Amino acid sequence: MKLNIIVDGRTSAFDVPDELLTDAQDFFDRLNADMDRGYQMSRDWVEKPNSEQRCQIAANKILTAIETDNEKLLMLMSAYILHTMPGVKSVNIDVTGDMNETDIIMEHESVKPLGPIFN
């Protein structure tokens, strides 16, 4: 599966092997268990992160992976996002320090019609 990662206005298409979405289930379960205890999202403490917030947290880890050249973490977090929010097309990762501003862009959001069609 493909995930478009947008950082500071630059887009990179990242290919995640389909089998990783099932092979990494134990990792996803551990990550979810950790987030189930609450998570510090920038300045806000979130008791029970929802799916979008979990993906924002994972996207923040992607930013760290890019900065540290950690391809394994990049792959796992991309797979987590694709697994957690089926239909996700892109993540626009906030680089200002507020992970709450990271946008999760779903497939259907990117194909909105421009307006009514007249015959």
Tens-place pLDDT, residues 22-55 = 999 999 999 999 999 999 999 999 999 999 999 9
Question: What's the predicted TM-score (pTM) here?
Answer: 0.87
pLDDT at 111 over 80: no
Q: Over the Cα atoms of the chain, what is R_g?
A: 15
Whole-angstrom distance, CA of residue 108 vs CA of residue 33: 29
Quickly list H helices, the chain.
20-23, 25-36, 51-68, 71-84
Q: What is the pLDDT of residue 88?
A: 96
Q: What one-letter code names the amino acid at 101?
A: E
pLDDT at 110 over 90: no
First to last CA, the chain: 37
